[in-house]
Chains A and B, each alone.
Chain A
């Protein structure tokens, strides 16, 4: 915990997302220990690190899908991990999640996928639900695909449709798991652009799990590096800053694809 911003451990948890002393474990096996960070509204926060270091696990903790072994997660200063079911539900309603393969419900059309959260949590009449779904699909460049099933469209389109579903309820925080996984460079770039556009226009906060360097440098305003060998977060800050000035050689190496520093 040497880099700038690591003072988070002692500051009061009042930001949009605050994580304090989080230890993640599966049974006796500790994945990561003592993680601290804050995310402010409108940031694109990237969780980075080598394969299998626990990036996705951290995201699952943030979503309450796994209980932390130790430590706490706060949203707007309110404890999420110690909150009761109602508190958690009320926060989950304000989140959107884009899973790796899109995770669209395969028995429903794209429009129905987006409509489901709307039907669940709004009083909108059916015709309006349909219109909102069409709008969200149009925003991700899938106009006219309302009545397609997930199996009928390409992987990149599925991912964008997944983003449209994640945006259904205009979430204040959007979680994105490996946006570039399985996408060609152009689709991956388009998805990055889309993330930046949504952040710009809607002020959505993003939490993105990725190890794709091009993506990290393109979108991140703040990044945390999870180190497999020390099993803790070794850097927190803007990725370009970390690449050039991090005190940890592992962080600098990661952000340079392991290539030598030519100074």
Chain B
């Protein structure tokens, strides 16, 4: 054996050791010590250097006489060595390895590596832009299809032909409306208080504190009551609808409906839309009152406005041209939240995590839709001078 003096290439807490020796044109990889997966593993850089050396070795063999113990860490290392050798077409002789190690390496090598999945990161910008465009287009078509189907199912509902359970609808109405009263009260009362405080700071400078009643009354009735209620409903009912329908998709309940010949649109989506479209105007009116009550508390408690004057001022300020648009907005927001929730539920994937994703997306798209609709409403009322 005309081996060059061996040298230690890697040590790990002086347990697992690798020695490299040359035996003619063969590279001998010596393994020594105790190999443990919990310890630091020797790398393959020294071996790569030896493989690239001049003259290049024409084969690798192993000498594991000094190995004291091993677990899968040695396999990990050997797979690395073999991958390096394979990429340089250098043959590997596994005879020097302990029997168990050799059998496991053979097992791991038994099935050739499968083509790795294609990576979107490697696609150049233009095709990626194209794909993005197609995705947006498909998404828009999908949205339209959903709206169309929902409208068709709603039409059947109005003609009394839709198949749904009245008890489901009653329960949905209760959940969307009565069960939301607590949180709607709290949020609109506080919002009324906040509006009053913000207004008071400015208006008191002009000695016009009484106009806080106008600000709160008109602000709540025209916009803020519907807006705040819609945000609450998006978080409560919108997310719940996505989760309910998404879960039904995972458990194949939607498929079961379809194969029974019952349209999930009529059975699940329409009752939810109806529940929110019926309850949102009522919740909005309720939130109007709670908001005005909040303003009243600040006005009479802190701004020394007499209860009678505050009441009179509010009644004079708020009229039907504020009230009706507010209620209409609330109804529209309710429709948007219900559509967003049901759409995300129907689009949910078929894994457990998909339900959580659907609920999140339902809230996000619901809130975005509310804000966009609110902005549009402002523009429309400005243009038409309502």
Contacts and interface: CB of A to CB of B under 8 A. Distances in A.
Given A107-B168, A120-B163, A92 B251 contact: no
A117 B255 CA distance: 14
Contacts of A107: 168
Interface string B264-296: 000000000000000000000000000000000
Nearest to A107: B168
Contact of B259 (A92, A106, A116, A120): A92
Interface in B111-154: none
A254 interface: no
A89 B261 contact: yes
A99 B168 contact: no
Given A101-B251, A106-B251, A107-B168, A93 B256 contact: no
A65 B261 contact: no
Nearest to A63: B259
B13 interface: no
B225 to A, nearest CB: 32
A206 B210 CA distance: 78
A220 B223 CA distance: 66
Interface in B249-266: 251-253, 255-262
Q: Name which of B168, B251, B258 has the most chain A CB atoms within 10 A of its CB.
A: B251
Contact of A93 (B168, B257, B258, B261): B261
A106 B248 contact: yes
A75 interface: no
Contacts of A95: 259
Contact of B252 (A100, A121, A165): A100
B163 A105 contact: no
A99 B163 contact: no
Contacts of B253: 103-106
B256 A103 contact: yes
Contact of B255 (A65, A116, A120, A165): A65
A101 B350 CA distance: 13
B168 A97 contact: no
A93 B260 CA distance: 7
- The SS class assigned to the A binding surface is loop
Instruction: Bin the interface of chain A by size.
Output: 20 to 34
A120 B256 CA distance: 14
Interface in B1-21: none
A120 B252 contact: no
Interface string A75-107: 000000000000001001101010111011111
A241 B261 CA distance: 38
Nearest to A112: B165
Nearest to B244: A107
Contacts of B261: 89, 92-93, 117, 120-121
Contact of B256 (A89, A105, A121): A105
B259 A65 contact: yes
A205 B172 CA distance: 39
Nearest to A88: B261
Given A106-B248, A107-B168, A120-B163, A99 B255 contact: yes
Nearest to A119: B163
Nearest to B262: A120
A71 B299 CA distance: 76
A103 B250 CA distance: 9
B304 to A, nearest CB: 54
A101 B252 contact: yes
B262 A116 contact: yes
Interface in A165-203: 165
A116 B168 CA distance: 13
Contacts of A65: 255, 258-259
A7 to B, nearest CB: 31
A136 to B, nearest CB: 14
A99 B252 contact: yes
A116 B260 contact: yes
A95 B255 CA distance: 13
A169 to B, nearest CB: 9
A97 B163 CA distance: 20
Contacts of A105: 248, 253, 256-257
A133 B6 CA distance: 83
Contacts of B257: 105
Nearest to B247: A106
A165 B262 CA distance: 14
Q: Across the A-B interface, give the 3 residue pairs with the lowest CB-CB distance, nearest first.
A: A103-B252, A103-B256, A99-B252
Interface of A: 63, 65, 89, 92-93, 95, 97, 99-101, 103-108, 116-117, 120-121, 165
Interface of B: 163, 165, 168, 247-248, 251-253, 255-262
17 contacts: A63-B259, A65-B258, A65-B259, A92-B260, A95-B259, A99-B256, A103-B252, A105-B253, A105-B256, A105-B257, A106-B247, A106-B248, A106-B253, A107-B168, A116-B260, A117-B260, A120-B262
Given A105-B257, A120-B163, 5 more contacts: A101-B251, A106-B248, A107-B168, A117-B260, A120-B262
